């Protein structure tokens, strides 16, 4: 059953009533209930009119507690971040691909990707800072590759620590207080 139709019927609204409430044409509501993709202004308006989260309208349910079935997928998504060792930006791209392919979009997977986005942005910033400070302080040029290696090792540690924590507790041990996604 279409999510829009489900939520509309739960509120006992006709298509016309929802149309009036969301300020969207009845024809648009009919097309969405027939299978057209919901997006943009229409998504926002219908989400507000039905008082339903946008992700729920899109059919993306967020799991509050990981089950045994998706715990393996969560660990796979987290471990796929290790591909940064082989592919630049792999720590973001591969987890995102697996996350949407397996339809495992939830708080934990968003945190995994957010951590890697922050780490990917911090990496060149810190390396440039080391280069700049190295030129000012006149320290050995080997400090740059050493700092890059240290940062990669820290990222690997974060990934492995979170994987172990997912295995034991079903939650991340290293996380952000916000999500970029």
pTM above 0.95, yes or no: no
Query: In whole angstroms, what is the distance from residue 105 CA to residue 93 CA?
Result: 14
Q: What does the domain layout of the chain look like in residue ranges? A: 3-57, 68-169
How many CB atoms sit inside 10 A of residue 13's CB?
18
Q: Are 75 and 163 in contact (CB under 8 A)?
A: yes
Residue 80 pLDDT class (50, 70, 90 cuts): very high
**Which residues fall within 8 angstroms of residue 110, CB to CB, at 6 or more apart?**
179, 180, 181
Residue 115 pLDDT class (50, 70, 90 cuts): very high
Q: What pLDDT is attached to residue 66? A: 57
Query: In whole angstroms, what is the distance from residue 57 CA to residue 59 CA?
Result: 5
DSSP secondary structure of 50-117: HT--HHHHTT-PPPSS--HHHHHHHHHHHHGGGGGGTSTTHHHHHHHHHHHHTT--SHHHHHHHHHHH
Predicted confidence (pLDDT) per residue in 5-43, tens digit: 888 898 899 989 999 999 999 999 899 888 888 888 988
Q: By mean pLDDT, which of 48-62, 81-95, 122-136, 149-163 is the weakest?
A: 48-62
CATH superfamily of 3-57: lambda repressor-like DNA-binding domains (1.10.260.40)
Query: In whole angstroms, what is the distance from residue 50 CA to residue 88 CA?
Result: 42
Kindly state the tokens that stand for 70.
């998706």
């Amino acid at each position: 059953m279409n999510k829009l139709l489900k939520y509309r019927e739960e509120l006992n609204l006709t298509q016309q009533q929802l149309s009036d409430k969301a300020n969207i044409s009845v024809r648009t509501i009919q097309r969405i209930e027939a299978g057209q993709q919901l997006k943009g202004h229409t998504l926002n308006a219908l989400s507000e009119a039905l008082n339903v989260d946008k992700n729920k309208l899109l059919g993306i349910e967020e799991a509050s507690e990981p089950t045994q079935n998706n715990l393996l997928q969560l660990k796979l998504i987290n471990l796929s971040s290790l591909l940064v060792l082989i592919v630049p930006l792999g720590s973001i791209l591969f987890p995102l691909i697996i996350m949407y392919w397996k339809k495992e979009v939830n708080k934990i997977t968003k945190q995994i990707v957010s951590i890697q986005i922050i780490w990917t942005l911090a990496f060149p910033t810190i390396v440039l800072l080391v280069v700049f400070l190295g030129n000012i302080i006149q320290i050995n040029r080997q400090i740059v590759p050493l700092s890059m290696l240290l940062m990669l090792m820290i990222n690997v540690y974060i990934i492995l620590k979170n994987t172990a924590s997912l295995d034991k507790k079903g939650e991340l041990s290293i996380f952000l207080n916000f999500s970029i996604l």
